[in-house]
Amino acid sequence: MSAGQAEHWAAELSLMGPGISEAVAWAGLVIARAEGAMVTDTGGNSYLDLMGGAGVNLIGHSHPAYVAALSEQIGAWLIGAHASDARLGALRELAALLPADLDRVQFYSSGAEAVESAVRLAKSATGKFEVLAFWGGFHGRTATALAATGGARAGLGPAMPGVLTTPYASCYRCPLRARYPECGLACVEFARDVLREQSSGSLAAILVEPVQGRAGNVVPPRGFLGALRELATEYDALLISDESMTGLGRTGTVLACAHDEVVPDIAILGKGLGNGYPVSAVVASARLMSVGPFGRPSASSSSFGGFPLACSAVSVVARTVREQGLAARSAALGAEFLDRLRALIPVTGIVGDIRGRGLAVGIELVTDQASRTPLPKSRLRAVFTELLARGVLVMTGGSTLRLYPPLTTTADELDRAAGIIADTIAGTSASIGAPARP
Ligand SMILES: Cc1ncc(COP(=O)(O)O)c(C=O)c1O
């Protein structure tokens, strides 16, 4: 961080609450402009941006079509949830991408707001009120979302009643100490036990991330989401897939649930849906969405839901994903990127696990591969800072480096990123004395 940028941060922090993203604060950047996969700070230094606003940058910073559409919309009109070409465009573009069964969209502004709405929809549609969510999950910081979010409730008192939680299929750190595939998805059997022991018999929905983002891009094994689909049906409950992080192609398919051939009853979209403009959506069938109270007039609206600027953003993002085949591109580039990164595991001591789907990648760092002890935060920060010094900006979560390049990133940029990450981790392994494998 240059002296000028440090001074800028000090000025902001003298006026702003401190609870901002830790990785953003660690980076300490003051950004002047951004384009594609690159951000440039006020000192003229450019960085490959694999943080992407924590998974928001789907089609690239300042995509020309995006800038043109939003600039035109600002000049036309901004306020009101009236019908508009922008909204019709957004709805049609989403319909062209999403599974045919999910044919109704309700717009909101943030992921957490959409999570709350999706749960209200599930309660309306089932007449029941409990939600089953997963350890390690992240769904936002509003009441129900927070109750369904792991590890973020300390000091905040009792969570929203009616939210039950159970272990995710997090195989590198299986909470059941089981091993896939021999376990036969023991976590799903455990979820059955949780429901049997703890549910009051009123399960409305299973709320799941198809890849757990904040937990470090944890990819569940094949069959997990399908088994949850069956579990939901068994309990006459709905399956809600929180695709805020994964939706619209990030993991190589339009919805990440598709990797397990699952179509959820309700999908939540956010983050990349607006590529920087704050917009989210709840997507479900017409049949579900019309059930009261959710489907009654004004019962599921919000002040900014469906405003024209947000819809312009959605329209451009969804069209770009469709026209440029960005989901397939993410699958192909992500597979190559992962292969390249995986070559690190046998040669460096602090890489515990490398995982990912499409262009959502996690590199979990440990003190040593045998004990799998998470790398302490100070050491993680050292890796983060060294990466930044070499021109690569990443996201973190626990002891994991989380990488979210835009789906438009070039193969060269990814290659460069992989090389820098490899060198940095190898260098850091040596400097902290972690054992290098032969
Ligand atoms: C899967 C998931 N759901 C919901 C949210 C909450 O979104 P927001 O921060 O827009 O409220 C997040 C944010 O990281 C997320 O990753």
| Whole-number pLDDT of residue 433 | 47
The 10s digit of each residue's pLDDT in 171-227 is 999 999 999 999 999 999 999 999 999 999 999 999 999 999 999 999 999 999 999
| Whole-number pLDDT of residue 2 | 82
Average pLDDT over every residue of 414-425: 94
Residue with the smallest CA separation from ligand 1 atom 7 is 111
The 10s digit of each residue's pLDDT in 14-43 is 999 999 999 999 999 999 999 999 999 999
For residue 187, is it within any domain?
yes
Pick the last residue of a domain from 323, 356, 391.
Answer: 323
Q: Looking at the predicted structure, is the pLDDT value of residue 1 above 90?
A: no
To test the ligand 1 pocket, which listed residue (149, 245, 248, 266) has its Cβ within 8 A of the most ligand atoms?
A: 245
Are 97 and 130 found together in one domain?
yes
The residues, ordered by sequence, that sit 6+ positions from 27 with a Cβ below 8 Å of its Cβ are: 51, 384, 388, 393
What is the crossing angle of helices 411-431 and 377-389, to 10°? 130
> Which CATH number do you get for residue 17?
3.90.1150.10
For residue 437, is it within any domain?
no
| Whole-number pLDDT of residue 111 | 98
Average pLDDT over every residue of 263-273: 98
The structure tokens 């405003």 sit at 307
The 10s digit of each residue's pLDDT in 336-349 is 999 999 987 766 78
Pick the last residue of a domain from 257, 290, 323.
Answer: 323
The 10s digit of each residue's pLDDT in 375-391 is 999 999 999 999 999 99
For residue 23, is it within any domain?
yes
For residue 340, is it within any domain?
yes
For residue 68, is it within any domain?
no
Helical spans, DSSP H, in 362-410: 377-389
> Which CATH number do you get for residue 133?
3.40.640.10
Are 271 and 346 found together in one domain?
no
Three-state SS string over 283-301 comes to EECHHHHCCCCCCCCCCCC
The alpha carbon of 372 and the centre of ligand 1 are apart by a number of angstroms equal to 27
| Whole-number pLDDT of residue 431 | 63
pLDDT-derived band at 154 (thresholds 50, 70, 90) equals confident
Ligand 1 contacts (CB < 6 A) are 54, 110-112, 115, 138-140, 209, 213-214, 242, 244-245, 270
Q: Which pair of tokens denotes residue 195?
A: 């429901």
The alpha carbon of 273 and the centre of ligand 1 are apart by a number of angstroms equal to 12
Residue with the smallest CA separation from ligand 1 atom 2 is 139
SS3 277: coil
Contact (CB, 8 A) for 226 and 369: no
| Whole-number pLDDT of residue 50 | 98
Are 266 and 251 found together in one domain?
yes
Q: Which pair of tokens denotes residue 69?
A: 């559409």
SS3 436: coil
Phi-psi map region of 275: left, alpha, beta (phi>0 left; psi -120 to 50 alpha): left
Query: Which atom of ligand 1 is least distant from the CA of 212?
Result: 1
Average pLDDT over every residue of 315-324: 98
The 10s digit of each residue's pLDDT in 352-377 is 999 999 999 999 999 988 899 999 99
Strand partners, 49: 393
Are 319 and 225 found together in one domain?
yes
For residue 71, is it within any domain?
no
| Whole-number pLDDT of residue 346 | 66
To test the ligand 1 pocket, which listed residue (22, 57, 139) has its Cβ within 8 A of the most ligand atoms?
A: 139
351-357: strand order across its sheet: 351-357, 360-365, 400-403, 395-397
Contact (CB, 8 A) for 59 and 47: no
Are 336 and 188 found together in one domain?
no
Number of domains in the chain: 2
Peptide bond between residue 293 and the one before it cis (omega within 30 degrees of 0): yes
Are 268 and 408 found together in one domain?
no
Are 197 and 317 found together in one domain?
yes
Peptide bond between residue 405 and the one before it cis (omega within 30 degrees of 0): no
For residue 138, is it within any domain?
yes
Domain that holds residue 32: 3-62+326-431
The structure tokens 């995986």 sit at 342
The alpha carbon of 17 and the centre of ligand 1 are apart by a number of angstroms equal to 20
Are 140 and 249 found together in one domain?
yes
Query: Which atom of ligand 1 is least distant from the CA of 54?
Result: 14
Pick the last residue of a domain from 323, 340, 365.
Answer: 323
The 10s digit of each residue's pLDDT in 63-89 is 999 999 999 999 999 999 999 999 999
The alpha carbon of 271 and the centre of ligand 1 are apart by a number of angstroms equal to 7
pLDDT mean across residues, the chain: 95
Distance of CA 220 to the CA centre of its chain: 14
For residue 70, is it within any domain?
no
User: By CB neighbour count within 10 A (0-12 exposed, 13-18 middle, 19+ buried), where does 206 fall?
Assistant: buried
Are 56 and 86 found together in one domain?
no
Average pLDDT over every residue of 302-328: 97
Higher-confidence position of 292 and 249: 249
Residue with the smallest CA separation from ligand 1 atom 4 is 139
Are 137 and 284 found together in one domain?
yes
The alpha carbon of 56 and the centre of ligand 1 are apart by a number of angstroms equal to 10
Q: Looking at the predicted structure, is the pLDDT value of residue 438 above 50?
A: no
Average pLDDT over every residue of 245-273: 98
Cα separation, 238 vs 241, whole angstroms:
10
Number of helices (H) and strands (E) in the chain: give both, helices first.
14, 15
pLDDT-derived band at 435 (thresholds 50, 70, 90) equals very low
Are 252 and 313 found together in one domain?
yes
The alpha carbon of 114 and the centre of ligand 1 are apart by a number of angstroms equal to 9
Cα separation, 135 vs 319, whole angstroms:
35
Are 135 and 209 found together in one domain?
yes
Q: Which of 347, 398, 77, 27 is nearest to 218 (CA)?
A: 398
